[in-house]
Amino acid sequence: MTTDKDNSFPLEWLRHTSPYINTHRRKTFVVWLSDELLGSPSLKNIVYDLTLLSHLGVRLVLVHGMRKQIDETLQASGIEAQFACPVETNDNSHLMRITTAEMLPLLQALLGQLRCRIESLFSTGLPNTPMSGSRVTLCSGNFVIARPYGVRQGVDYFHTGEIRKVRVKSINSLLDLGMIVLMQPVGYSPTGETFNLHAEDVATQTAIDLQADKLIFLHQQTEELAQALGDVREISVGAHGFRQALPSSLSNIRSIVNNATLACQRGVNRCHIVSSQQDGALLKELFTRDGSGLLLDAGDYDSIRSATTRDVAGIKTLIQPLIDEGILLSRSEQDLERCINQFYVAEREGSVIACASLTRFDDQAELGCLAVHPDFRASGKAADIVQHLIKEARTRGCTQLFALSTRSGDWFREQGFVPGSISDIPVDENRIEGNRGSKVYLFNLNSI
C-alpha cells in the first residue's frame, strides 16, 4: 500500500464526517437567516454550505429576517418607523413594529427583492465554485396563515400580525420532493390580508409544528453570547438562570435564546445558535464533535414539556378512562386541539404518560386535567408536573394556583394546596355546583 504524501488533502477529516452525514441525512433542519446576514458578503458562503447540506440529504427550511431592510427602506422613503410596546415593561426587546397600510407596498417589494436575491444565489452553478453542478430548487409560498396582532394597550398594529397556523403538510410535501423551502416573515389571513411577522417566530413555530430535528439561528452576535455564558458550548434549556445571565445589551440575541428555549420545550430536539459571520461555522457546528456555536437542548425538560397538536391523541387516550369514570371533566379532541397551548405532557418512548393544563385567569391560574397513566403512578410524576406548573404560573406573574377535584383532594393537600371555596376563584359557579360538585384547592404562589 502506498501512502499519500499530499498532506493538504483532508483525508482523515473527510472519513470522520461519515457518522455525521449518516446522522443528518433525511433530518429536517429549520434555519433562520438574520437580516444582517442578507446584506453581508458572508451570505454567499452560507448558501454554499446550505447547498451542501441539501445535497447530503438534509431537508431544509429557510426563514429569513428583514428588520434592517425594512428600516432602510422606510428611511429612504421618508416614512418614520413606528414601534410600540404591547406589554408594560422597560425592556426594549418587547417593542413591536406598527405596520401601516402605507408601508405595505414597500414591504411587498422588499419581500420580492429578498426572495429573488436568495433564489439567484442558490441558482448559481459556475464550474469553479462549490455550486458547480448544483441543482437545488427553492420553493416559497403562502405557508403561514396569520391573524392581526390587533389593538393592544390602545395601539393599533395594523398589518403587524401573529402566526395562526403553519401549513405543515405542504411544507413536508415539498421537502419530500427534495426542494428547499424558503419562508419569509409574512403571513396571509383568510380575509386575504397580508401581515408582517417576526421571522424568529416563523422559524420557531415552523420548527415546532414540523417537529424538526434542528432549529438553527445564524446570528452575528455569537461571540458576545459565548462570553456572557462563560464560553459554554452546550446548555440545557432547563438550566436555572442562564437566560437571566444575558445582559440587556444582548436583547436581540436574548429573544433568539427565548425562541430556541420555547422550541426545545415544545419538542424540537436541538437548537443551535451559530455565527453568521465566521466562515464555515455552520459546517463546523454540524460536522465536528466540539461544534462552533451554542447548542441548546431539552435537557431536564425532556420529561415535562408544553404539548403540541401532535399530543392531542395521546392526551385523549390517557384521559378518556378518567372522563368515563367521572374523575375528569369531559373534553373532546376538538376541545383539546383548541386549548392545546395550555397543556403540558410527560412522554416516554413516544407515548403521553402524564398531562395537566394551566389556564390563566388574570392573576390566578387553574391547574386542571391532571392525569398520570396507571402504569406510571406513585413515582412522583404528578408531583413533578405540579412543581413545573407552579414555576410556570409564577413566571407568568400569577399569585394563586387553584385546582378543582372530586376525588384527589388529599393528594393536592399533600402537595401544599389548602381547601378553599368558590368565592376564592374566578371560575363559573355552574362548573362546580351544577356540574360535578368539585372541591376547590388553593396554592399561594407568593409563599416560598
Ligand X SMILES: CC(C)(COP(=O)(O)OP(=O)(O)OC[C@H]1O[C@@H](n2cnc3c(N)ncnc32)[C@H](O)[C@@H]1OP(=O)(O)O)[C@@H](O)C(=O)NCCC(=O)NCCS
Residues near ligand X (CB under 6 A): 322, 327, 370-372, 377-383, 403, 405, 407-408, 410-411
Closest CA to 358 of 398, 323, 302: 398
Nearer to ligand X, 60 or 432 (CB): 432
Nearer to ligand X, 171 or 328 (CB): 328
User: 243: which 3 cell numbers?
Assistant: 437566560
Minimum distance, C-beta of residue 384 to ligand X, in the bound complex (Å):
7
Nearer to ligand X, 25 or 377 (CB): 377
Minimum distance, C-beta of residue 369 to ligand X, in the bound complex (Å):
6
Minimum distance, C-beta of residue 169 to ligand X, in the bound complex (Å):
34
Q: Quick check: helix, strand or coil at residue 217?
A: strand
- Residue 214, CA distances (Å) to 141, 202, 252 in order: 22, 14, 21
Euclidean distance between CA atoms 402 and 7, whole angstroms: 68
Minimum distance, C-beta of residue 428 to ligand X, in the bound complex (Å):
17
Minimum distance, C-beta of residue 429 to ligand X, in the bound complex (Å):
19
Euclidean distance between CA atoms 110 and 39, whole angstroms: 13
DSSP 64-105: E--HHHHHHHHHHTTPPP-EE-SSS-S-GGG-EE-B-GGGHH
Minimum distance, C-beta of residue 143 to ligand X, in the bound complex (Å):
38
- Residue 418, CA distances (Å) to 125, 238, 371, 426, 443 in order: 69, 29, 20, 17, 7
Is residue 129 classed exposed, middle or buried when 0-12, 13-18 and 19+ CB atoms within 10 A define those classes?
Answer: exposed
Minimum distance, C-beta of residue 171 to ligand X, in the bound complex (Å):
36
What DSSP element (H or E) covers 338? helix 333-338
Nearer to ligand X, 398 or 403 (CB): 403
Nearer to ligand X, 48 or 417 (CB): 417
Nearer to ligand X, 163 or 354 (CB): 354
- Residue 4, CA distances (Å) to 11, 15, 18, 425 in order: 9, 15, 20, 78
Minimum distance, C-beta of residue 416 to ligand X, in the bound complex (Å):
12
Nearer to ligand X, 141 or 374 (CB): 374
Helices (H) and strands (E) in the chain, counts: 16, 23
The percent helix, strand, coil of the chain (3-state, each to 5) is 40, 25, 35
Minimum distance, C-beta of residue 322 to ligand X, in the bound complex (Å):
5
Nearer to ligand X, 351 or 408 (CB): 408
Nearer to ligand X, 115 or 431 (CB): 431
Minimum distance, C-beta of residue 204 to ligand X, in the bound complex (Å):
31
Instruction: Tally Cβ neighbours within 10 Å of residue 417.
Output: 21
- Identify whether the C-beta of residue 282 lies closer than 8 Å to the C-beta of residue 218: yes
User: 9: which 3 cell numbers?
Assistant: 488533502
Sign of CA dihedral 100, 341, 309, 272: positive
Nearer to ligand X, 292 or 405 (CB): 405
